[in-house]
Structure 1
Amino acid sequence: MEIVDAQIHLWQNDSAPPHHRQAPFRIEDALAGMDEAGIARAVNCPAIWDPHANDYAVEAATHHPDRFATLGWFPLDTPADPAAVDRLMDRPGMLGMRFMLAAPGLADQLADGGLDWLWARADQREAPVALMVLPDQLPLLHGIARRFSKMRILVDHLAVLPFLTLPQAAEHLDDLLALAQHPNIAVKASGVPSMAPDPYPFPSTHDVLHRTVDAFGPDRVFWGTDITRMTCDWRTCLTHFTEQLPWLTGSDLELVMGRAVRSWIGWH
Structure 2
Amino acid sequence: MTAAERTEEHTVEIVDAQIHLWQGDGAPPHHRQQPYLIEDALAGMDAAGVQRAVNCPAIWDSAAHTYAVEAAVRHPDRFATLGWFPLDEHAGPASVDALLALPGMLGLRFMLAAPDAIAALTSGGLEWLWEAAQRHEAPVALMVLPEHLPLLDGIAGRFPGMRLLVDHLAVLPFLALPQAAAHFDGLLALAARPNIAVKASGVPSMATDAYPFRSTHDVLRRTFDAFGPERMFWGTDITRMRCTWRECVTAFTEEIPWLGGRDLELVMGRALRTWIGWH
- Give 1:80 shift: 4.3
What are the equivalent positions in structure 2 for 1:26-65 lying under 5 Å apart?
A: 26-65=37-76
Percent identity of equivalent pairs:
75
Letter in 2 for 1:179: L
Pairs aligned (count)? 268
- CA distance, structure 2, for counterparts of residue 152 and residue 49 of structure 1: 26
Tell me the residue number matched to 1:93: 104
- Segments of 5+ residues of structure 2 without an aligned counterpart are 1-11
2:174 alignment partner, SS class: coil
Map Cα deviations across residues 86-129 of structure 1 (whole Å, 9 max, x no partner): 00000000000100001111111101100111011001111100
Match of 1:151 among 130, 146, 162: 162
Match of 2:190 in 1: 179
Q: Does 1:205 align with 2:235?
A: no
Q: Which amino acid aligns with 1:40?
A: Q
Please, what is the CA RMSD of the aligned residues? Answer: 0.6
Aligned-partner residue type, residue 224 of structure 2 = V
The amino acid that maps onto 1:55 is T
| Structure 2 Cα separation of the partners of residues 79 and 177 of structure 1 | 35
Instruction: Give the match for residue 76 of structure 1.
Output: 87
Q: TM-score, normalised by structure 2?
A: 0.95
The structure whose RCO (Cα within 8 Å, separation 6+) is larger is 2
Q: Which runs of structure 2 are paired with 1:121-140 in the superposition (5 Å)? A: 121-140=132-151
Question: How far apart in 1 are the matches of 2:86 and 2:201?
Answer: 24
For the 8 Å contact 1:13–1:24, the answer to whether it is kept is yes
Indicate conservation of the 8 Å contact 1:73/1:97, yes or no: yes
- 2:17 aligned with 1:9: no
Counterparts of 1:45 and 1:79, CA distance in 2: 21
Indicate the SS of the match to 2:272. Answer: helix
Gaps of 5+ in 1: none
Query: Deviations along 1:220-258, whole A, 9 cap, x unmatched?
Result: 000000000000010000111001111111000000000
Question: Is the CA contact 1:160–1:170 (under 8 Å) kept in the aligned structure 2?
Answer: yes
CA distance in 2: counterparts of 1:80 and 1:249, whole angstroms? 43
Instruction: Answer yes or no: is the 8 Å Cα contact 1:72–1:94 preserved in 2.
Output: yes
